[in-house]
Structure 1
Amino acid sequence: MRIGYPCVNESLDCSTASTFRLASYSDERVEQTVAKNLACLQRILEYNVQHELRFFRMGSGIVPFGSHPINTFPWQTHFAAEFRAIGDYVKAHGLRVSFHPDQFVVLNSPDAGIVQRSIDELVYQGSMLDLMGLDSTAKLQIHAGGLYGDREAALTRWIATYKTLPEAVKARLVVENDDRLYSLQDCLRLHDAVGVPVLFDNFHHECLNNGEPMPMALRLAAATWHPTQDGPLMIDYSSQAPGERKGKHVATMEEALFRRFLEDLRGLDADIMLEIKDKEASAHRACLILEEVGMLVRAAQNAPAVS
């Protein structure tokens, strides 16, 4: 079992999402910014290996305007060696990485333009994983989208759009249950229709469910993942912030709740992404708990020091 956190490492003085305004676009700025973002990503991965945090959700903005028509810089070829080196590092250290495209990626929108831009974004982000030479266990995580006043029609549009996706995107795509619109059961319907794995969010399930106890829900989601093509079940983990509106994520991990969740999970192979505000700080604590209860699998190799 691997533990991880998304996008930003607050212990390091760099970002993988450096960007600039669209109005100031130039090929030179793209080149400089991508180089900076990839260098930071390498540092984060090295930090993670040193601390046994072997699951990382990379930020979508590594290439500024990566799916926008304005970006004509040949970043795929210019940075091919750098992407490959990162992929080699990921594989050498038993890491798992993913992307979670932004909320504007909506495959079931009635607006054809939104759907096309969503597909373009998935192609862009998937191409980075391809350039890294990673297999189909490195995933692209999205939500089912909007309801638009008709759940059945919205699900039908999602399925129809999915069938038009490039095969390279289909191989990586997973759908996550959300906290307001699409429950685990809705996502299972999408899996039954097209085979898309269901990424399970425990907190979203607590907010929106059809009465499934957590151990049952986890096993229903896990059954949608092919052991070799998809890898272990991916989980987003969080809990309710005390005294805040329903659905607000906790600022730091509550250890008792996490231990209880691990009991629900016991017997399943899974990788856990902590969607918690203090990111790697909570991930360090979760890692220690996993080790204590005998559920942590350590990396086989050590990374070089982070400068």
Structure 2
Amino acid sequence: MKIGYPCVNEAMDCSAANTFRLASYSEERVVAAVTANLACLRRMLEWNVAQGLLFFRMGSGIVPFGSHEINTFPWQTHFAAEFQAIGDYIKANDLRVSFHPDQFVVLNSPSPDIVRRSIQELVYQGSMLDLMGLNGTAKLQIHVGGLYGERELAISRFAQVHATLPEAVKVRLVVENDDRLFPLRDCLHLHELTGVPILFDNFHHECLNHGESMHEALKLAAGTWHPTADGVPMMDYSSQALGERKGKHTDDLVEERFREFLTHLHGLEFDMMLEIKNKEASALRAVAILRELGLSAPAPIMPIPPLNLPRDPNAPTKTQRTRKEPALKSK
């Protein structure tokens, strides 16, 4: 079992999501941002490997406006060697990586324009995994989408769009059960129609389900993954923040709840992404618990790279939040 956290190392002094305003687009800015983003991504991966955190969700903003029509710069060829080097590092250290395209990716939208731009975003993010030379076990994680008043029609529309996707996207796509619209049962129906694997979210299942026990739900979701083409099933883990609205994730790992969740696995293997606010801090505690229980390899004997390096005067300022292109969010 591999433990990971998404996109940002909160304690590190760099960001892999440096960007700029659309109005100030230039090829020079693209080159500067991608150079900094790939360098920081490599640093994060090296730090994770030294800590035994072998699952990482990369942020989608590595290439600013990567799926936007304005970006005509041939970044795929310009940075081919850098992407390949990161992919080689991932494979050499048995890392698992993924992307989780943002909420504007809605394949079952009634709007052809939103569907078109959603596919463009999936192609962009999948192409980065292709450039890294990674196989289909590196995934693109999305939700079913909107309900639009008709559940069956919404699911069938997803299936129809899925059939038109490039094969390079299809082999990477996984669908996550959500906490408001499409629970596990709907995702299983979608799997029957398309073959898309289900990335199980335990917290979403607690919020919205049809009475399946946690172990039953885990087993059903795991059964949608092909052992070689898809690899070990992935899942998201979190828990309810006490005293907050239903569905709000905790800011920190609640160890007793995490230990209780592990009892539902009963021999099932998952690579687990922690969707918890303090990211790497909780991931370190989770992997320590797994090692204690014999569910993860011992800590590696290797130097841990520093979280902070001397300031490079030419480096971009750390970006705390990736700027999203407004046009892509419109529905």
Superposition TM-score tier, normalisation by shorter sequence: over 0.9
Structure 2: how far apart are the matches of 1:219 and 1:299?
29
Kept in 1: contact 2:51–2:299 (CA 8 A): no
Instruction: Provide the residue aligned with 1:182 in structure 2.
Output: 182
Q: How many residues align?
A: 307
What is the identity, as a one-letter code, of the residue corresponding to 2:63? V
Instruction: Provide the residue aligned with 1:77 in structure 2.
Output: 77
Query: Match of 1:174, SS?
Result: strand
Deviations 1:167-225 (A, max 9, x none): 00000000000000000010011111110000000000000000000000000000000
What is the identity, as a one-letter code, of the residue corresponding to 1:98? S
What is the identity, as a one-letter code, of the residue corresponding to 2:127? S
Query: Match of 1:230, SS?
Result: coil
Structure 2: how far apart are the matches of 1:277 and 1:107?
28
Query: Match of 2:60, SS?
Result: coil
Structure 1: how far apart are the matches of 2:167 and 2:299?
31
Structure 1: how far apart are the matches of 2:302 and 2:117?
40
Q: Percent identity?
A: 70
What is the identity, as a one-letter code, of the residue corresponding to 1:24? S
Instruction: Provide the residue aligned with 1:48 in structure 2.
Output: 48
Q: Give 1:266 deviation, angstroms.
A: 3.1
Correspondence list, 1:21-60, <5 A: 21-60=21-60
Q: Give 1:299 deviation, angstroms.
A: 8.1
Residues 64/242 of structure 1: CA separation in 2 closer, same or farther (3 Å cut) = same
Residues 43/118 of structure 1: CA separation in 2 closer, same or farther (3 Å cut) = same
Structure 1: how far apart are the matches of 2:174 and 2:303?
30
Kept in 2: contact 1:16–1:41 (CA 8 A): yes
Deviations 1:221-278 (A, max 9, x none): 0000001100111010000000000000001010011001111013011100000000
Kept in 1: contact 2:137–2:231 (CA 8 A): yes
Instruction: Provide the residue aligned with 1:247 in structure 2.
Output: 247
Instruction: Provide the residue aligned with 1:289 in structure 2.
Output: 289
Q: Which runs of 5+ in 1 are unaligned?
A: none
Correspondence list, 1:213-252, <5 A: 213-252=213-252
What is the identity, as a one-letter code, of the residue corresponding to 2:268? L
The TM-score, its normalising length taken from structure 2, stands at: 0.91
Kept in 2: contact 1:93–1:300 (CA 8 A): no
The TM-score, its normalising length taken from structure 1, stands at: 0.98
Instruction: Provide the residue aligned with 2:3 in structure 1.
Output: 3
Instruction: Provide the residue aligned with 1:166 in structure 2.
Output: 166
Structure 2: how far apart are the matches of 1:21 and 1:191?
39
1:93 aligns with 2:93: yes
Structure 2: how far apart are the matches of 1:191 and 1:297?
32
What is the identity, as a one-letter code, of the residue corresponding to 1:81? A
Instruction: Provide the residue aligned with 1:113 in structure 2.
Output: 113
Instruction: Provide the residue aligned with 1:135 in structure 2.
Output: 135
Structure 2: how far apart are the matches of 1:280 and 1:62?
20
What is the identity, as a one-letter code, of the residue corresponding to 1:60? S
Instruction: Provide the residue aligned with 2:326 in structure 1.
Output: none
Q: Give 1:2 deviation, angstroms.
A: 0.2
Residues 302/92 of structure 1: CA separation in 2 closer, same or farther (3 Å cut) = farther
CA RMSD of aligned residues (A): 1.2
Q: Give 1:304 deviation, angstroms.
A: 7.3
